[in-house]
């Protein structure tokens, strides 16, 4: 992991909804939580665990009616739990690039990055953050425009992972990809029409996994910058493609598997 990437020092509040994400956030005492809203009359062992953790940390707690929680969560499934978390802002692209370069030069690391080209559904963003963290990616890079916000819906899908993996925003993806390539990072794009199979490719070494938008996939300029385009072999079913978050998970698992075998 690129542990030395420090986020900006500013703090912004963020809503974290749901029992799983709340447990993950409260268990990490380095993450600030300003307050907690709980469903009045809420029950269940996991629900009580969240309440107990919040009390142990001395967090301001309010028990409210379901209608109040529904309004606070803006429609995100909350399971009776909404936290107002003070999470650090994500690192700037310039800071991240500088730290990545140091890691590549000084420690001979082989980092894995995930690059999102127009992912617009926050639930997909959250699921990708969760898989990226689980399989050892050091960061998720996304575009400023045509990009899903890192909001409560994304936090819910990430199930706590958003607190642990940088989500870096770039204004010019083409230029950012050129900068990664100049550092020796191999750009591997996922595309349903690619002729080379994911499982046949060498996915070791510094690598960026590029994922396109839900509707149209990778944009032309992004595809042109890929060193290789890969497809996930799907021979058994009648469906020709996967949801982008599922595809990301499959690809990241294959990357992690190959790296484990190469050790």
Enter the CATH code of domain 11-88: 3.30.1330.30
Fold of 93-262: Alpha/beta knot (3.40.1280)
Between the alpha carbon of residue 66 and those of residues 42, 45, 139, 246, 262, the distances in Å are 10, 19, 36, 32, 51
Q: Where in the chain is the domain with CATH 3.30.1330.30?
A: 11-88
Record the pTM: 0.78
Q: Where in the chain is the domain with CATH 3.40.1280.10?
A: 93-262
For every one of its 263 residues, what pLDDT tens digit does the chain have, with 9 covering 90 and above?
Answer: 333 343 433 334 578 888 988 888 888 777 778 899 999 999 999 999 999 999 999 999 999 999 999 988 878 889 999 998 875 567 888 989 988 888 787 665 689 999 999 999 999 999 999 999 999 999 999 998 888 888 888 888 888 788 788 899 999 999 999 999 999 999 999 998 999 999 999 999 999 999 999 888 999 999 999 999 999 987 766 666 789 999 999 999 999 999 988 77
User: Whole-angstrom Cα distance, residue 125 to residue 212?
Assistant: 12
Number of Cβ within 10 Å of residue 231's Cβ equals 18
């Amino acid at each position: 992991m690129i542990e030395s990437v420090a986020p900006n020092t500013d703090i912004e509040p963020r809503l974290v909804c749901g029992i799983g994400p709340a447990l993950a956030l409260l268990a990490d005492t380095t993450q600030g939580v300003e307050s907690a809203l709980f469903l009045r009359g809420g029950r269940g062992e996991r629900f009580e665990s969240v309440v107990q953790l919040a009390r142990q940390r001395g967090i301001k707690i309010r028990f409210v009616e379901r209608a109040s929680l529904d309004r606070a969560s803006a429609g995100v499934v909350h399971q009776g739990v909404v936290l107002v978390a003070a999470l650090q802002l994500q690192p700037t692209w310039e800071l991240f690039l500088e730290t990545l370069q140091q890691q590549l030069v000084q420690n001979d690391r082989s980092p894995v990055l995930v690059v999102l080209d127009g992912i617009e559904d926050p639930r997909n963003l959250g699921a990708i953050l969760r898989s990226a963290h689980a399989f050892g990616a050091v960061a998720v890079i996304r575009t400023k425009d045509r990009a899903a916000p890192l909001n409560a819906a994304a936090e819910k899908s990430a199930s706590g992972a958003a607190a642990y993996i940088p989500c870096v925003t770039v204004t010019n993806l083409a230029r950012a990809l050129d900068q990664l390539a100049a550092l020796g990072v191999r750009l591997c794009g996922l595309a349903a029409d690619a002729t080379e199979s994911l499982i046949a490719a060498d996915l070791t070494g510094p690598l960026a996994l590029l994922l396109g938008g839900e509707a149209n996939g990778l944009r032309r300029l992004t595809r042109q910058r890929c060193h290789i385009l890969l497809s996930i072999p799907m021979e058994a079913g009648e469906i020709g493609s996967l949801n982008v978050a599922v595809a990301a998970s499959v690809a990241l698992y294959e990357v992690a598997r190959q790296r484990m075998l190469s050790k």
